[in-house]
Structure 1
Amino acid sequence: MKITAAASIAILSLGLASAGIAQAENNSYPETVTPSTQTRAEVVQDLRLAQSQGLITAGEDNSYPQLQADGPSMTRTQVLKELENAKRAGLVSSGENHNQYPQVL
């Protein structure tokens, strides 16, 4: 029984894979070619400039460039106060009532 089930799965997998390959060959999408407006030297120069400014790092460094804040951030107390004001104004809904949307001022 196990051999029959394994053989059936193998045959189904092979059939689905070949159907996918056949459909991939019938791709009717046009190939889009966008010509470059820069030379290779210009691209390399732009890359080196970006690297020198710290915009691009090499390797597996997961630190992304940080956006500069426009001003000081809000404190927790200020955020909670803003939330309470929004609740009082009817701008925040909670629960599972999907028929009622927050009012837009």
Structure 2
Amino acid sequence: CILHVSYRLEFKTWQVRSNDNKLLFATKKKYVQDRFRSEMGLLVDIVLQGHGTTNDGNTARRFFKNAEKSAEITGINLDLIQRFGVILSVLSSGYEIDINAFEVYSLETA
């Protein structure tokens, strides 16, 4: 999700319809993929035949563990990446969640 938002920061629309936007999208996607590969050794958002994409749990853990570098590469706000990482960790923790505190935290993030 964060990667897909970062690809669209230049033109700020979700759908990529115009040729100019398609070119901007493809250029930014390649730039982000190349930087993640060279600087963090991560293969991100690459289609694997019969398996979806390279965006798996291990990739996500490294993405959020190195939030500062991820923010630098994607152009997404560091605080947003860190808070989103906390939300995903809480949801996947298996522990009982204080729903009221979680709601407040999530709404502050939004």
Using structure 2 for the length normalisation, give the TM-score. 0.20
TM-score, normalised via structure 1 length: 0.21
State which structure, 1 or 2, has the greater radius of gyration over its C-alpha atoms.
1
Which has the higher relative contact order, 1 or 2, with Cα contacts under 8 A spaced 6 or more apart? Answer: 2
Question: Which protein has the bigger helix share?
Answer: 2
